[in-house]
Amino acid sequence: MNDFHYVPFDEAIAAEYRKNQTEIARKFKQAGARYVIGSSGIIDSVPHWVKTAAGTKKDLNLSLSKFRNIALKVAVAENVGFADVYRPMLVTDFNAKKTFGETFLVSGKDGIHPGWAGHAIMAYAFLKALGIDGNLGTIILTDSDGTASATGGHEIVSAADGKITILSKRLPFAPGPGASDNDASLRAGLALVPFDQELNRLILKLTKPKSASYKVSWGATEKNFTADQLKSGINLAAEFHDNPLVAPFNKIQTAVLEKQAYETTQIKGMIHGKEGQADMEGTFAKTEEERTKLVEKLAVSIRPVEHVISILPN
C-alpha cells in the first residue's frame, strides 16, 4: 500500500515498485522459498496523516489498481504466486455499502487499515493464492442401519440412534457467531466472500434416509434440513456458527496471536532496536529462546476434539 506514495499514478514510482518486487521475488526463489506476491487493497479515504498525499479517493484507487496489475505481471514473469487482494476488497466494499450503508468500510474506519472484515477478505485472497482446497473432511451417517463413517482427519467413536460421537483432528475455521453488518466483525468479512464454500468445508452427509426431513443438533444449536439437503451434504462450518469446535479453535488462535505478538516485539523492538544494534546475534539468540516457548505452547494447544452430532427424523 505505502509503495504507491498515496498519489495519482506516477510511472517513476511504479518503475521503482516493479524493480523492487522483481528483486524480492528472485531472492526468495534463490533461497528456495515458495513466494506469493500480494497486491495492495483499496482505500476509502485519502489519509490525512500522509502529508504528501495528493488526488482524490478515485485517483488513488485507480493508481492502486495499476499497481495491482504490475504485481500480477511480476508474478507471471517470475513464475511465483499472486494474491489478488485489490479486486475482492473493491467488490465486497461496493456490495457491503449497498447492503449495510456507507458506514461499512472494508478498508477500515480510517479508510486505510482494515478491521476484522477487511482482514478476512485479505486472508481469503492469500489462501486462494496458496492453493488451499478447503476440504476438511466428511462425516456420513447411513440412516437405514445407523452406521457412520468419516474421512479427512475425523474418526467415529460411536454411532447409535442417530447420535454420532466423533474425534476430530482437523478443525474448521471457527470464529463463532458475529454481526454480519459490522466491518469490525470477522464473521461479516467471511460472509462477503465465498470463504466457507471454498476454503472451510466440513461436510455432513446422510445416506439411505428413512424420513423426508431431519433435525440436526451440534452443540446447543438445532437446525432442520430436508433429506435431499443431507444426501447432497451440508457444510457444518457454514450452517453452525456456534458449535463445539469454536472453543478449541479459539484456544489455538489465542496461542497463535500470542506468538505473533511476541514476534513483532522481537523483530521490530529488539532485533532492529537498541539491543540488536549493540549485539545482533546475541539478541536474536536470546529472543529465540522466548519465542521457542511460545511455539511449544502453540503445539500443545493443538489437540483432537471429541464432539457429538445428532441427526433425528422429524
Q: What is the pLDDT of residues 205-231, one digit of tens each?
A: 999 999 999 999 999 999 999 999 999
Q: Does 290 lie in the same domain as 171? A: no
- Is residue 182 over pLDDT 90? yes
Q: State the cell numbers at 237.
A: 462450518
Q: What are the DSSP calls for 86-117, one per residue?
A: HHHHHHHHHHHHHHH-TT--TT-TTSSS--HH
- Cβ atoms 89, 122 nearer than 8 A: yes
Residue 177 pLDDT more than 90?
A: no
- On average, the pLDDT of the chain sits at 96
Q: Count Cβ atoms within 10 A of the Cβ of residue 144 and give its class: 0-12 exposed, 13-18 middle, 19 or more buried.
A: exposed
pLDDT of residue 43: 96
Q: Return the sign of the alpha-carbon dihedral for residues 172, 177, 183, 184.
A: negative
Q: Which residues pair with 135 in a beta bridge?
A: 201
Asked if residue 92 and residue 171 are part of one domain, the reply reads no
Tell me what pLDDT residue 97 has: 95
Interval 127-167: pLDDT, tens: 999 999 999 999 999 999 999 999 999 999 999 999 999 99
Same domain, 121 and 140: no
pLDDT at 175: 86
pLDDT, mean of residues 240-247: 94
- Domain-terminating residue out of 90, 109, 129: 129
* CATH, residue 55: 3.40.50.1110
Does residue 201 register a pLDDT over 90? yes
Pairing of strands 213-218, 234-235: unpaired
Could you give the CA distance from residue 43 to residue 1 in angstroms, rounded to a whole number? 9
Query: Given this model, what pLDDT does residue 102 score?
Result: 94
Contact 82, 37 (CB under 8 A): yes
Burial 290-310 (b: 16+ CB within 10 A, else e): ebeebeeebeebeeebebebe
Same domain, 103 and 199: no
Q: pLDDT value at position 176?
A: 81
190 and 72 in a single domain? The answer is: no
When pLDDT is averaged across residues 173-190 and rounded to a whole number, the result is 91
Residue 178: pLDDT over 90:
no
Whether residue 104 has pLDDT greater than 90: yes
Q: pLDDT tens for residues 249-302? A: 999 999 999 999 999 999 999 999 999 999 999 999 999 999 999 999 999 999
**Do residues 172 and 160 share a domain?**
yes
What CA–CA distance (Å, rounded) separates 186 from 191? 9
Residues 308 and 188 in one domain: yes
Domain that holds residue 47: 2-129
The answer on 163 and 78 residing in a single domain is: no
> Are 65 and 207 members of one domain?
no
The C-alpha cell of 149 is what?
463413517
How many domains in the chain? Answer: 3
Query: Are residues 111 and 48 part of one domain?
Result: yes
- Which of 96, 129, 162 marks a domain boundary? 129
Residues 182 and 309 in one domain: yes
pTM equals 0.89
Q: Alpha-carbon distance 248 to 310, whole Å?
A: 20
pLDDT in tens, 33-82: 999 999 999 999 999 999 999 999 999 999 999 999 999 999 999 999 99
pLDDT band at 171 (very low <50, low <70, confident <90, very high): very high
308 and 168 in a common domain: yes
Boundary (domain end) residue, out of 129, 155, 174: 129
Report DSSP state, residue 14.
Answer: H
